[in-house]
Amino acid sequence: MRRYSVFAVAREALRFHQGWARAWANPEPKKRYDVVIVGAGGHGLATAYYLGKNYGIRNVAIVEKGWLGGGNTGRNTTIIRSNYLQDPSAAIYEKARSLYEGLSQDLNYNVMFSPRGLLMLGQTEHEVRGYKRTVWANNLQGIETEWIDTARVQKLVPIMNTLGPRYPVLGALYQARGGTARHDAVAWGYARACSDMGMDILQNCEVTGVRSAAGQVQGIDTSRGPIDCGKLAIVVAGHSSVLAEMAGFRLPIESMALQALVSEPIKPCMDVVVMANTVHGYMSQSDKGEMVIGGGTDGFNNYTQRGSWQHVEETVRALIETFPMLSRLKMMRQWGGIVDMTGDRSPILSTTPLGNCFVNCGWGTGGFKAIPGSGWAMAELVAKGTPGPLAAEFGLNRFKEGRFIDESVAAGVAH
């Protein structure tokens, strides 16, 4: 793989950009792989990348029923933060955030990571107490966050109405090194690096069955033929329960749509990410000037990837008191992603009842921010067969034993 650089861009400009090679190969499936990863989204590709980089396992196939990065990786609002309350959550999200900082250099691909800072607004006294508690916990965890007052919030976000009659802004939990990245670039960068290691990315290859013998996984059946494997990793977000059923076990997750929308592009007016959890809306401004807006999940289980007018009304209505300027903007685009929600709103990185079969799911609404840390931890689990420090608390057995990592109660929101 030829390295991308300013010199390569200049050289290709002289040749009218006719010399660029494909970013990743499009091979035919082999009969057998050491590891098969189902799901070529951010988490699946990151798992493959760190299997190769950290453990030298490169006879790997990443199987995707559609196109690479066409699921939740390309359907999110790109927020990156690690200011979680519970120690296991904070550890894996901080690992991800720290890896994001050097990911462009690591992959030789610009993922457009922007550590612009992130505010979580305290709009009730209860929220203020909760966020101050999180700041103290983060300081003990080695994560840089702080509580800032209303005046500083107003200075950081001049377009905000901090004196709203129902929900005034009483301050905010501020993570200066949080921010955003370009979602599709993250997937493309990992895919390019995996392909360069000799891994096979198999697009338009739907899994139709999981084969096993004597309690051990043997391979998968796909729309492009059977594939044998030594180990199988299921990393398919909202469709995890479907794959688990094929493998002969059940998962404690439910799938539902999470919707988002973007406005027409406007001049730069907000250079931080703002989350308003009391009204359940969050917003940032993209590099193109669009206001990227998200809210809560649908209130019912579904597999739709479409938007709904009801969601637009609920989310914008929630935000418009704090951001009056939204009332004058037109919506340009809307979409939905299928998220996988556990009871405690924390992920599952675990062995399964089927030998040499592993699962990575349950990230709910927080999947994009976790991609590098999730891949790092999942690669260790697959390579060694047992979880490392980052994944140890996220096993399936926690639901049986009652060891919940309840981030929805801790943070007041699952994002």
pLDDT at site 409: 54
What is the fold, at CATH topology level, of the domain defined by 30-82+84-101+183-253+344-411?
FAD/NAD(P)-binding domain (3.50.50)
Q: Which amino acid is at 405?
A: I
Residues 6+ apart with CB under 8 A from 186: 42, 73, 103, 111, 368, 371
Residue 301: how many other CB atoms lie within 10 Å: 12
Greater model confidence, 165 or 204: 204
Question: Of all residues in the chain, what percent carry a pLDDT higher than 70?
Answer: 98
Mean pLDDT for the stretch of residues 17-24: 88
CATH 3.50.50.60 in the chain: give the residue spans.
30-82+84-101+183-253+344-411
The CATH class of 118-180+255-340 is alpha beta
Mean pLDDT for the stretch of residues 275-300: 89
CATH 3.30.9.10 in the chain: give the residue spans.
118-180+255-340
pLDDT at site 166: 85
Question: Of all residues in the chain, what percent carry a pLDDT higher than 90?
Answer: 77
pLDDT per residue over 252-270, tens digit each? 999 998 889 999 999 999 9
Q: Which of 75-79, 98-102, 148-152, 187-191 has the lowest average pLDDT? A: 75-79
pLDDT at site 414: 45
Cα 90 to Cα 72: distance, rounded to the nearest angstrom: 22
Residues 6+ apart with CB under 8 A from 95: 372, 373, 376, 377, 390
Greater model confidence, 296 or 102: 102
pLDDT per residue over 355-413, tens digit each? 999 999 999 988 999 999 999 999 999 999 999 999 999 999 999 999 999 887 544 45
Greater model confidence, 300 or 31: 31
Mean pLDDT for the stretch of residues 72-89: 93
pLDDT per residue over 207-232, tens digit each? 999 999 999 999 999 999 999 999 99
